[in-house]
Amino acid sequence: MASTQTPVAPSLEAEPKPTLGQRLSNAFTLLILLAIVIIFTLLQRTTFLSIGNLNNVLIDTSQLLLLTIGVTFVIITAGIDLSISSILILSAVVAAKVMIQFSGTPEQVAAYSFPNQAMAIPIGLALGVLTGIVCGLVNGLLVTRLNMPSFIVTLGTLGVFLGIAQLLTGGTTVAGVPPAIQQDIGLRDLFPWPLFGADFRLIPPMIIAFVLTVAAAVLLNFTRFGRYTYAIGSNMAAARRVGIDVNRHLLKVYALSGFFAGVAGTFDLMRFGTASVGSHQSDNLAAISAAVIGGTSLFGGLGTIGGSVIGAFIPATLRNGLVISGVPAFWQNVAVGVVLILAVYIDQRRRSAEERM
Amino acid sequence: MVKAVAGRAMEPVLQVENINKHFGAVHALRNASLAVWPGEVVALIGDNGAGKSTLVNVLTGVLRPDSGTMIFAGERVSFSSPQEARAAGIETVYQDLAIAPHLDAVANIFLGRELTMPGLAGHLGFLDNGKMRRETEEQLTRLRVRIPKLGRRLVTLSGGQRQGVAVARAVMWASKIVFMDEPTAALGVAQTEMVLDLIREVRNTGIPVVFISHNMPNVFEVADRIVVLRLGEVVAELDPRTASIDDAVLAMTGARRRDARGEGAVVG
Amino acid sequence: MSISERCGAKASRRTIVKAGAGMTLAATLFGAGHLGTAARQDKTYRIAFIQGVIGDNFYITMDCGARAMADALGNITIETQGPERWGQELQTPILNAVVQSKPDAIMIAPNDTTGMIAPIKAAIDAGVPVLCVDTTIDSDIQLADVSTDNVEAGRVAARGLAEAIGEKGQVFIVNTIPGISTTDQRSQGFREEIAKFPNIEFVGEEFSNNDANQAAAIVSAKLQSDPELAGIFGTNLFSAQGAAAGVREQGKVGQVKVVSFDAGPTQVQDLKSGAADILIAQHPGDIGQIAVQLLHDFLTTGNPPDPKKYVTGATVITKENIDDPAVARYLYLSDCANYKLSDITPQEVAAPAEATPTA
């Protein structure tokens, strides 16, 4: 930047501190993750760092990862989306119902025969994801048109979407989904070669989660969409003054969060072959805390996809290692909670150091 | 009209006459008139509630006047939004730093006007960060705004540096005129000095600057002309080379309005 | 993990925590199987017990039974895990991690009859035999099932309630989450049996989502719409707790008879205070004990259990019989301090495969 360092410039202020703190703390979150991995690897004579186990962690975290990525966009705009867990459930239920509906007559389905499943499964998956987008649009419309706090809106739709899912199912787990969604799609190993050992399974949910995570990072870093997302969260009034259509953008951001939750919903069918309305009920808080661990500020304007990925994997890795070590479940909660507080504390320290002038 | 300045051959960039604006029972602007010529710095001063901000808001499209005419770049105009005013070449720097503190200078200067890549990537919204960066560097160099590193988020910069970016943004996009509403209100002495220098730099590029300030020394230091508002009326116009701060204060408070007129200030 | 964890009340948890930190060091320095009773055996077997949900007196009691049996056998250690809440997406990562710790066998209370099939299959494919306790899966891949005969327990509840209300009036079920095999079977058995009483009208079933507050709200609402309600059957711990609370809030204690499934401390208190009239106690300690016995036999002999289904009983508990030691031993526990192994054997409770249809 030699050209901006014009010597006659009327800059009388001291140079602010460099951004080392910021870099350090992003690295610090990664360090926490690495520390967890190293500790468990040293502690376990067995298999924490085995391909099979890391593979498990990746698969088990794929749903939470998607929710975290989606909600990261919302939180960067200084909003919150509490309804993602219910969107996930509703999307899974819609996808399951549609698959059952289209895969054969009720008699055929009851007899575990699914003549039209080749058509029914893609339609079900598409409508499941679409359900997520529609739910997100509903959130976005309520936030922007009624000018209500996103916390209240999504707290309300958290109940509404779950209630709709319960109405659709009568509160039961949706059974009778074509097993092909699980056996031939969800659990299909796309990497059958023994390069990484027999325990390595590359299943579609992992690939989908990976591709969408990369796409989200590109969107946030390199496009106008990402730029506006940060700008709105940083200073909404300023964004309005420069002519950004803030409401329209927020609508898209909530729809995006819904989309990610919808895709996560289809993972339920792919992995478990069922859509259960009783599950996932605390995933919203898990995703939000993962984003926060990853350095996303609840006050908006700050956050990265890379951070959120690390944030999603820290609690998952910690729990996995603690279970393998045989540590009782209650202590796992303590450990995850401590890491959450620690990560956010460091983040705050860094921010105040950075903004000190 | 206002004081006829000898040798001013050009047309005014902006000329408004008999602007009225009511807020309910409050008559915020009473037949306010103002003209701005290229390459001058006009200070708008007045007590709280005198109508300075209201006038600027009318001129920048934030508010619509109840009556009055507005001639801009030789044409009669009526802005229905700040976007329209901006499209016409009018930019505004706000007192409360209308920047996104979590973004860097490049992103702030191009905020809402991002340059995208050519071709398909551009249609998908991919940003041309290299080009925006180069143009930002040029602009900051031209205005002699010095910030430590272009890629740093503004939250890490000083208030003066941030205001420098805000002014640079306004100047970059203002083809005709820049308004500044209390640009130094939140700043310390050294930083204020930097912004005043910046105002001169802008004037030297030929673009007129209209700025609101409460700080009389600042006003007298940088303005070519001082327009005094009181209770929604333009009550005096002062030449900082001949008038004193006392004259300005008296005009603002109305205590010796008659005398102020007598001293060569002309009521608009 | 080779340290023998005795059922020593709170001490056991402390031991585990310390073990969590120092375990590896100890094991490395002194060699596996060095400490505890297991040292006398040629080989120790690690059984991982994955509970349906942690912190539930039912599963705690089952854990006591399992650990007491493990101590008695001498060459078994039990490691207990479980999800905080009921949910296949929470239990699956735990199961996966447990499999990675390479236990010799797993006993699990699956959170979903369908959803847990694939994860359990993956565990079995990884070479770890799996036995289902309490709940089950719609499959035959598991080594065996040990559970309460829930249909029969539902019938027992129906007969108990009918007697308490003089065989007439309206009755109602507060169930937990739909799709759980055990509670659905209790509900089924109850409805089948209650239909045999001509003067008793069955007025429906609601789901509490395993939340006592929701159950209380449901019962309060039901008492508003059907003020003549004579009896309520709560199909599990939280549903029954909530039902009792709802009756209490509506001031109908005594007028509405509540059958509470399970016999945790709160339900015992409800029974003593009159909010609940009958408790149906399962025998979770026996389930844990038999499961460990079956796994031990399989691990030492290599012969899979035959038959594959074992059903333990249910005991009716009332104010009158609660102090009888033979009944009191079935009350659920908060810790294992005073747990006594029962003399029940797998053969006594072996059931023909078709005895308990899955829901």
Euclidean distance between CA atoms B199 and B205, whole angstroms:
10
Distance to chain A for B54, nearest Cα, Å? 17
Average pLDDT over residues C208-236: 87
Helix axes of A51-76 and A305-324: crossing angle, nearest 10 degrees: 140
Euclidean distance between CA atoms C243 and C76, whole angstroms:
40
Chain A CA closest to residue C77: A326
| pLDDT attached to residue C29 | 39
CB contact under 8 A, B101 and A243: no
| Residue for token pair 């080749």 | A118
CATH number, residue B83: 3.40.50.300
Query: B167: which chain A residues are within 8 Å (Cβ-Cβ)?
Result: none
- Confidence category of residue A355, pLDDT binned at 50, 70, 90: low
CB contact under 8 A, B100 and A235: yes
| pLDDT attached to residue A196 | 73
CB contact under 8 A, A173 and C84: no
Residue B101 within a domain: no
Q: pLDDT by residue (tens digit) across A145-179?
A: 999 999 999 999 999 999 999 889 877 778 778 88
Q: For residue A43, give the nearest of C24, C83, C179 by CB distance.
A: C24
Chain C CA closest to residue A172: C178
Q: pLDDT by residue (tens digit) across C266-279?
A: 788 878 877 788 99
% of chain B at pLDDT higher than 70: 90
Residue B81 within a domain: yes
Distance to chain B for A237, nearest Cα, Å? 7
Q: For residue C178, give the nearest of A56, A171, A331 by CB distance.
A: A171
- From residue A15, alpha-carbon distances to A7, B157, C189 in Å are 14, 8, 78
Q: pLDDT by residue (tens digit) across A68-77?
A: 999 999 999 9
Euclidean distance between CA atoms C213 and C211, whole angstroms:
5
A1 Cβ partners below 8 Å, 6+ apart? B137, B149, B150
Q: For residue C102, give the nearest of A46, A274, A331 by CB distance.
A: A46
| pLDDT attached to residue B8 | 57
Distance to chain C for A295, nearest Cα, Å? 25
Euclidean distance between CA atoms B234 and B78, whole angstroms:
21
> Of residues A6 and B158, which shows the higher confidence score?
B158
Distance to chain B for A6, nearest Cα, Å? 6
Domains of chain C as residue ranges with CATH: 9-148+283-312+333-351 (3.40.50.2300), 150-282 (3.40.50.2300)
- From residue B152, alpha-carbon distances to A19, B29, B101, B126 in Å are 8, 42, 10, 21
Chain A CA closest to residue C95: A323
Euclidean distance between CA atoms B43 and B52, whole angstroms:
10
Helix (H, G, I), strand (E, B) or coil at B178: strand
Predicted ipTM? 0.81
Collect all residues from A whose CB is shorter than 8 A from any CB in B. 1, 3-6, 8-13, 15-17, 19, 222-225, 227, 230-231, 233-235, 237-239, 241-244, 300-302, 354-355, 357
Residue B125 within a domain: no
Query: In a mutagenesis test of the A interface, which of C78, C114, C180 is the best target, namely the one with the most A β-carbons within 10 Å?
Result: C114
Q: pLDDT by residue (tens digit) across B83-103?
A: 888 888 898 887 666 789 999
CB contact under 8 A, B111 and A234: no
CB contact under 8 A, B194 and A10: yes
- From residue C117, alpha-carbon distances to A138, A278, C125, C163 in Å are 35, 17, 12, 40
Angle ∠(C52,C57,C62) on CA atoms, nearest 5: 65
Residue B149 within a domain: no
Euclidean distance between CA atoms C47 and C292, whole angstroms:
8
Whole-number mean pLDDT of chain B? 84
Chain A CA closest to residue B141: A4
Euclidean distance between CA atoms B72 and B56, whole angstroms:
14
% of chain A at pLDDT higher than 70: 90
| Residue for token pair 């509970």 | C51
Distance to chain C for A164, nearest Cα, Å? 15
- Confidence category of residue C22, pLDDT binned at 50, 70, 90: very low
- Confidence category of residue B261, pLDDT binned at 50, 70, 90: very low
% of chain C at pLDDT higher than 70: 86
Q: Is the per-residue pLDDT at C179 higher than 80?
A: no
Q: For residue C93, give the nearest of A48, A60, A173 by CB distance.
A: A60
Average pLDDT over residues A329-339: 83
B154 CB-side CA count, 13 A: 26
Neighbouring-strand partners of residue C133 = C146
Average pLDDT over residues C110-123: 91
CB contact under 8 A, A329 and C23: no
Residue B106 within a domain: no
Of A231, A316, A265, nearest to A70 by C-alpha is A265
The size of the A-C interface in CB pairs under 8 A is 144
Helix (H, G, I), strand (E, B) or coil at A9: coil
Interface of C with A in 76-105 (CB under 8 A): 79-90, 92-94, 96-102
Query: A327: which chain C residues are within 8 Å (Cβ-Cβ)?
Result: 16-17, 20
Angle ∠(C320,C284,C217) on CA atoms, nearest 5: 70
CB B185 within 8 A of CB B95: yes
Average pLDDT over residues A120-125: 94
Average pLDDT over residues C54-72: 93
| Residue for token pair 């005895």 | C355
Q: Which ranges constitute the DSSP H helices of chain B?
A: 52-59, 82-87, 105-109, 120-123, 129-142, 159-173, 189-204, 216-222, 245-253, 257-262
| pLDDT attached to residue C142 | 94
Q: Is the per-residue pLDDT at B37 higher than 70?
A: yes
Euclidean distance between CA atoms C303 and C191, whole angstroms:
39
| pLDDT attached to residue C354 | 53
Q: Residue C217, Cβ neighbours under 10 Å: how many?
A: 17
CB contact under 8 A, B124 and A222: no
Chains that touch B (3 or more CB pairs under 8 A): A
> Of residues C15 and A267, which shows the higher confidence score?
A267
Q: For residue A238, give the nearest of B99, B114, B194 by CB distance.
A: B99
Euclidean distance between CA atoms B88 and B174, whole angstroms:
9
CB contact under 8 A, A13 and B155: no
Q: Is the per-residue pLDDT at B48 higher than 90?
A: no
Give the structural domain span for B32: 14-95+158-262
**Number of compact structural domains in chain B:** 1
The maximal CA–CA distance of chain B, rounded, in angstroms, is 67
Euclidean distance between CA atoms A263 and A283, whole angstroms:
14
Q: pLDDT by residue (tens digit) across B187-238?
A: 778 778 888 888 888 888 889 999 898 888 888 999 999 999 988 888 888 8
Q: For residue A4, give the nearest of B94, B99, B141 by CB distance.
A: B141
Residue B185 within a domain: yes
Long-range Cβ contacts of A107-111 (<8 Å, 24+ apart): A109/A176, A110/A176
| pLDDT attached to residue A3 | 40
- Confidence category of residue A354, pLDDT binned at 50, 70, 90: low
Chains C and A touch (3+ CB pairs under 8 A): yes
Residue B78 within a domain: yes
Q: For residue B103, give the nearest of A223, A231, A357 by CB distance.
A: A231
Cα-Cα-Cα-Cα dihedral of A286, A291, A294, A297, to 10°?
Answer: -130
The H or E element that residue B210 is part of is strand B209-212
CB contact under 8 A, A230 and B107: yes
% of chain A at pLDDT higher than 90: 46
Chain B CA closest to residue A299: B102
Query: A63: which chain C residues are within 8 Å (Cβ-Cβ)?
Result: 89
C93 Cβ partners below 8 Å, 6+ apart? A56, A57, A60, A316, A319, A320, A323
Q: Could you tell me the end-to-end alpha-carbon distance of chain C, in angstroms, rounded to an integer?
A: 37
Chains C and B touch (3+ CB pairs under 8 A): no
Chains A and B touch (3+ CB pairs under 8 A): yes
CB A26 within 8 A of CB A304: yes
Point out the least confidently predicted range of C2-11, C61-70, C216-225. C2-11
Whole-number mean pLDDT of chain A? 85
Residue B229 within a domain: yes
Q: pLDDT by residue (tens digit) across A268-318?
A: 899 888 888 878 888 999 999 999 988 898 899 999 999 999 999 988 888
| pLDDT attached to residue A69 | 97
Q: Is the per-residue pLDDT at A231 higher than 80?
A: yes
| pLDDT attached to residue A152 | 96
Q: Is the per-residue pLDDT at C37 higher than 50?
A: no
Chain A CA closest to residue B137: A4
Query: A230: which chain B residues are within 8 Å (Cβ-Cβ)?
Result: 100, 102-103, 107
| pLDDT attached to residue C77 | 94
CB contact under 8 A, A12 and B193: yes
Euclidean distance between CA atoms A199 and A191, whole angstroms:
11
The size of the A-B interface in CB pairs under 8 A is 121
| pLDDT attached to residue B96 | 66
CB B186 within 8 A of CB B194: no
| pLDDT attached to residue C6 | 33
Query: In a mutagenesis test of the A interface, which of B116, B153, B167, B193 is the best target, namely the one with the most A β-carbons within 10 Å?
Result: B153
Average pLDDT over residues A195-209: 83
Domains of chain A as residue ranges with CATH: 21-40+47-355 (1.10.3470)
